[in-house]
Structure 1
Amino acid sequence: MKRVLFVCLGNICRSPTAHGVFRSLVERRGMAHLVEIDSAGTAAYHVGNPPDHRAAAAALKRGVDLSDLRARQAVAADFAHYDFIMAMDNENLSELKSICPADYKGHLGLFLALSSLAEREVPDPYYGGPAGFDHVLDLVEVASEALLDRIAAELHK
C-alpha cells in the first residue's frame, strides 16, 4: 500500500483536483486497493468546505467527480502516514518543509517535478477564469500518470 497526499494553499482548487484526477486514474488502472489518496491545504482558510465550484465543474467535464471531497489542513502527523506528499508550488513546499519531521523517509516534493513537463509549479487558478482550471487539469493529468507509474514500479520491486 502506498499513501499519497496532494497539498496546495487552501485545498479547494489544485489539490482536490489532483486528488480526484489521481483517484480516477488509480481506479482505471485497477490499483484502488493499493493506493490511498488524500488532499490538504497549508492554510486553514477553507477547512470543511467542498472544492471551489469552478474546479469541480471543470473536473466533472472530464469525468472526475470532486463532490465528496472536503478541505482540511496539512499537519505534521501527515508525515507519519503518507509515503508521497506532493506540493503544488514552491510556497506550499516550503510550508510543508517547515512542519516535516527530520526523520521523514517518504517523498516530499513538487508534484509536477515527477513528470516530463517543463512547468514545475501548478498555478493557482483561483483569481482567474475557466482557462486556468482547465490548465490545472492538463498539468495534473500528466503528472498523475508519472506519479502512478513511479508508485507501480515501487510496488512491483
Structure 2
Amino acid sequence: MINVMFVCLGNICRSPTAHGIFQQMVVDDGLADRIQVASSGTSAYHIGEPPDGRSQQAASQRGYDLSWIRAQQVTLDDLEAYDYILAMDKNNLSALKQLAPVNHHNKLKLFMSFAQQQSEMEVPDPYYGGANGFAQVLDLVEMAAQGLLQQIKQEHPL
C-alpha cells in the first residue's frame, strides 16, 4: 500500500481539494486497493469540519465530491505512516520539516513539484480571495495530481 497525504494550513481548502481529486484519480485508475489518500492541516483551526463550501462548490462543478472529507491536524504518526507527504506551499513544508524527524524529510515535498510543464511551485490559498482562486486551485491540483499518480506508478509496481 502506498500512502499519500496532502497538507495545507487548515485542511479546509487546498489539501482536501487535492485529497478528493487524487482519490478520484486513484479510483478511476483502479488503484484504490493500492493507494491510500488522506489530507491534514499543520494547524488545529478546523479539526472535524468539512471543506470550505466554496471549495466544495468549485470541485462539484468539475465532478469531484469533497463533502465526506473532514479536517484533521497532521501528527507524528502520519509522518511515520505516509510515503508521500505533500505540502501545498513553502510555509507548510517548513512547518512539516520542523515537526518531522530528519529521517522522514525525504517524504516531504511541495505538491506542485509533480506538475509537469508548470513553473508555479505553490498552490495559493484561496480562503480570502474570490471564486477565481478556487478555480485556480483546481487547475493546479489537477495538473500536479496527474503527475503524482504517474510518478507513483513509475516508482512502485502496482
TM-score by length of 1: 0.97
Between the aligned partners of 1:87 and 1:99, the Cα distance in structure 2 is 13
Shift of 1:156: 2.2
Matched, 1:80 2:74: no
Shift of 1:106: 4.9
In structure 1, the residue matched to 2:140 is: 139
Between the aligned partners of 1:119 and 1:108, the Cα distance in structure 2 is 18
Tell me the alpha carbon deviations over residues 87-117 of structure 1, each in whole angstroms, 9 at most, x when there is no partner.
Answer: 0000000000001112227521100012221
Between the aligned partners of 1:59 and 1:130, the Cα distance in structure 2 is 11
CA RMSD in angstroms comes to 1.2
Tell me which amino acid in the other structure corresponds to 1:153: Q
Tell me the alpha carbon deviations over residues 37-78 of structure 1, each in whole angstroms, 9 at most, x when there is no partner.
Answer: 000000000000000000000001111000110000011111
Aligned 8 A contact 1:82 1:106 in 2: no
Shift of 1:154: 1.6
Deviating 4+ runs (over 2 angstroms) = none
State the SS of the aligned residue for 2:86. Answer: strand
In structure 1, the residue matched to 2:68 is: 68
TM-score by length of 2: 0.96
In structure 1, the residue matched to 2:89 is: 89
Task: Tell me the matched-pair count.
Answer: 157
Tell me which amino acid in the other structure corresponds to 2:56: A
Aligned 8 A contact 2:97 2:105 in 1: no
State the SS of the aligned residue for 1:91. Answer: helix
Change in Cα spacing, 1:150 to 1:18, as seen in structure 2 (3 Å) is same
Aligned 8 A contact 2:6 2:86 in 1: yes
Higher helix share: 2
1:1-157 equivalences under 5 Å are: 1-104=1-104, 106-116=106-116, 117-156=118-157
Aligned 8 A contact 1:9 1:43 in 2: yes
**Structure 1, unaligned runs of 5 or more:** none
Q: Tell me the percent identity.
A: 52
Between the aligned partners of 1:84 and 1:94, the Cα distance in structure 2 is 15
Aligned 8 A contact 1:83 1:106 in 2: no
Change in Cα spacing, 1:27 to 1:128, as seen in structure 2 (3 Å) is same
Change in Cα spacing, 1:106 to 1:81, as seen in structure 2 (3 Å) is farther
